Amino acid sequence: MTPQDASAAAYAICKRAPIVPVLVVHDALHARPLAEALVAGGLPALEVTLRTDAALEVIAEMAKVEGGVVGAGTLLTPDDVKRAVDAGATFGVSPGATDKLLQAAEDLGLPMLPGAATASEAMRLYERGYDMLKFFPAEAAGGAPFLKSLSSPLPQVRFCPTGGVSPANAESYLSLPNVVCAGGSWVAPDNLMRKGDWAAITELARAASTLGSRG
């Protein structure tokens, strides 16, 4: 897969909804009901972070849910990419980017959303062929004002801001011309997962799915 094709595929996934849930799941038994709740609420693109021992099993279970598109987040190494693909991930997300990581994803045909936090990082990724990027850590790296300032000199590059995005500030990101969607963890809080309150998670997802302008 070429970088251009990988980025185009990531863009198509990001366009599906204004919010991509960033999921930290500790219990694989939560995987299918959680994915079903989020998809029912209008958030089909799901990022499962590789931050728990259960993450790969969670990806494998979520991949079985109709209507969902399951990706792996926190990809740091080529081995992470291989394990994610083997588990059934159909896209990958990284907090940054290295040549080895991107090459591994390209070799295995995994659409990638590589992270950038500066103009130089965004330019380097664009030079390689990636024009759909993760902006991370969004709030700490300058927030919506920083991304807005990039839209004029780098109009070709589009972003999914993640890190500190919440219902209180999501609209400020989603209103920007260079933002396609945003990553957020608030739609699947740990306390609701532990209680198995999937209906409440569906309602959070439904509210998130109406954020921003999806025209």
What are the backbone dihedrals phi and psi of residue 63, each rounded to the nearest 5 degrees, phi first?
-65, -15
Query: Which residue intervals of 21-110 are DSSP H helices?
Result: 31-40, 55-62, 78-87, 99-108
* Residue in 121, 127, 134, 203 annotated catalytic: 134
CB 143 within 8 A of CB 167: no
Residues listed for the chain? 215
Q: Which of 91, 72, 83, 73 minimizes the C-alpha distance to 15?
A: 91
* Residue in 36, 47, 61, 106 annotated catalytic: 47
134 catalytic per annotation: yes
Q: Which of 117, 119, 116, 115 minimizes the C-alpha distance to 152?
A: 119
What are the backbone dihedrals phi and psi of residue 99, each rounded to the nearest 5 degrees, phi first?
-60, -40
- Cα angle 93-191-167, degrees, rounded to a multiple of 5: 60
CA distance 109 to 128: 16
| Residues with a known catalytic role | 47, 134
